[in-house]
Structure 1
Amino acid sequence: MHMNVAPYLLTEDRAEYERVLDDALSTAHTRPELAGFGTWLTAAQLRAMAVNATALITTAAASEYAHFTKVREAGRVAVATRVPARQDGSGAGIVAILTVMVPVLAGSAAVIFLLVGAVLRAVAPGLRFGGTLLTAGLVFGALAAAGLVCAGAGLLVTALRNSPAATVTSAAAAGGPEDELARAREAWRHALLERGIVPFLRDALAATEPPDQQGP
């Protein structure tokens, strides 16, 4: 169960905060200001203290976090507005309807012609009209098969165009908003680490340092 969550720290960023905290703890032995790490306070104890003090620690990087969330929200709005724009052309809708209807109509006609032609061929073998109907049925059957292939290809192209990967690629090609978001996230992470988490860990170690470690 998570304890304090800063009022401005969104739930979706809680995991990112804890990742920065874990990175700080994993490299604490390389920081002179965190001397005593693991001696009188373990990594687990320090982590629990930092998780409980989330609201206090994250205020040190409030401005960077506000910029990060603003850039992220702008990117989401931009992606959302690009999707309806693809539906503006009426020509595309007509083509889609025809792509679906042609195989259905052609398939129905093929079934009717083949059935009637087969019945006439069986009842009156000498009647040429039965053969004509069978030929027409085969032609419509081929047309239905070709329509199904075209419809399948159209659905595949549409699915690929609307996939998340295609959206990200289009966004990157349009001017690199993903790069701006990455920079904003990294700026927040750096401020959170250097101005929030590390000073908190330093103060926690200093406050719990045994008296005999401070000299006579």
Structure 2
Amino acid sequence: MHMNSAPHLLTEDRPEYERILDDALRHAHERPDLAAVGERLNPVQLRTMAMAATALITAAAATEYEHYVKAREEIRAATAAGRDEDGEPDADPAGMNHSGAGIGVVITVLAPVLAGTAAVIFLLIGYILRALDPPPAFARTMVGAGWFFAAATAAAILVAAVGLLITALRNGSTSLAAEEQGEELPEDVARAREAWRHALLERGILPFLRDALADPGAAPAARVPHRSPNRIPKIGYSRPDFSSPGDGPAAAPRPTFTSPDFTSPDFGGPEHELD
């Protein structure tokens, strides 16, 4: 016996599998062979069944998936090797960015709090002193300092709001650029991924959905596309070959057994001899 195992679907590729499945269910009404969707089984039920049989469905496109993963890993390895060989320091060191950003965040958060606290203290003490008779000479100074810190608090809050808005816009544009860059794959990897998507849809998902609609009570393993015996790679251990009796060497002659001879009581043995 030998083992031919199809590669398992990696976690990073599971969302792609779900997107292809959802797209197939969304456009099922456009395919005559899936016209029964919603009659025997609804899209939610079909999706649940397909997710439970992910390993069996993806095995239909195991060859294309293996090629896609290999091409992707080669590109990643080459990219990592290029970075290691470059050896140039980052133009924007992480330590400086983190320290500068950390100080800015601390100042932005603490400035309104400290200024507001000082404003409350100075105003409270100043107005209490002004209520005395006669009021101390520095009571007016305390009140003026309180209003100054109140204005500083308002300014700090405004600066913090503007800073948060700028940071949010900058992070949004950066993430969008990263997503667009992530979609730009090398030509070999893009072709391999497209081939896997097509094989997964045509040889895995659609046959599974057709079989599920034709026989909703069948077991998930029975719904694996089986129209072409060479379409799906074998998973696990292959069964041993059993040949028919006519194909193998000549079989040894079978032993024969004869039934014992039973005679009538008159001839059953010495004890029954006639006197």
TM-score, normalised via structure 2 length? 0.47
Identical counterparts, % of pairs: 37
- One-letter amino acid matched to 2:10: L
CA separation of 1:203 and 1:132: change in aligned 2, threshold 3 A: closer
**2:127 matched residue in structure 1:** 118
* Match 2:176 to one of 168, 171, 175: 168
Given that residues 107 and 141 in structure 1 are in contact (C-alpha distance below 8 angstroms), is that contact kept between their aligned partners in structure 2?
yes
Q: Give the Å deviation of 1:7.
A: 4.3
Unpaired segments ≥5 residues, structure 2: 1-5, 81-92, 211-224, 229-275
| Aligned positions of 1:9-158 closer than 5 A | 9-10=9-10, 12-13=14-15, 14-16=17-19, 18-19=21-22, 22=25, 53-66=56-69, 70=73, 88-89=96-97, 90-125=99-134, 127-158=136-167
**2:250 matched residue in structure 1:** none
CA separation of 1:192 and 1:126: change in aligned 2, threshold 3 A: closer
CA separation of 1:28 and 1:140: change in aligned 2, threshold 3 A: closer
Q: Give the Å deviation of 1:121.
A: 0.7
Q: Which moved more, 1:190-199 or 1:98-107?
A: 190-199
> 1:180 is paired with a residue of what secondary structure?
coil
Given that residues 60 and 192 in structure 1 are in contact (C-alpha distance below 8 angstroms), is that contact kept between their aligned partners in structure 2?
no
CA RMSD of aligned residues (A): 4.7
How far apart, CA to CA, are the structure 2 residues paired with 1:27 and 1:60? 28
Q: Which moved more, 1:194-203 or 1:97-106?
A: 194-203
- One-letter amino acid matched to 2:227: A
- Determine which structure has the larger helix proportion and give its number: 1
> 2:9 is paired with a residue of what secondary structure?
coil
**2:184 matched residue in structure 1:** 179
- One-letter amino acid matched to 1:148: I
How far apart, CA to CA, are the structure 2 residues paired with 1:64 and 1:19? 24
Q: Give the Å deviation of 1:195.
A: 6.5
- One-letter amino acid matched to 2:183: E
Q: Give the Å deviation of 1:151.
A: 1.8
TM-score, normalised via structure 1 length? 0.57
Q: Deviations over 1:63-116 (max 9, x none)?
A: 354158649989xx9xxxxxxx76642233222222222222211211111111
**2:227 matched residue in structure 1:** 204
Q: Give the Å deviation of 1:59.
A: 1.6
- One-letter amino acid matched to 2:154: A
Number of residue-to-residue matches in the alignment: 179
Q: Give the Å deviation of 1:54.
A: 1.6
Given that residues 60 and 196 in structure 1 are in contact (C-alpha distance below 8 angstroms), is that contact kept between their aligned partners in structure 2?
no
> 1:204 is paired with a residue of what secondary structure?
coil
Given that residues 114 and 137 in structure 1 are in contact (C-alpha distance below 8 angstroms), is that contact kept between their aligned partners in structure 2?
yes
Q: Deviations over 1:154-178 (max 9, x none)?
A: 2333344345x64132453xxx332
CA separation of 1:60 and 1:133: change in aligned 2, threshold 3 A: same
CA separation of 1:107 and 1:152: change in aligned 2, threshold 3 A: same
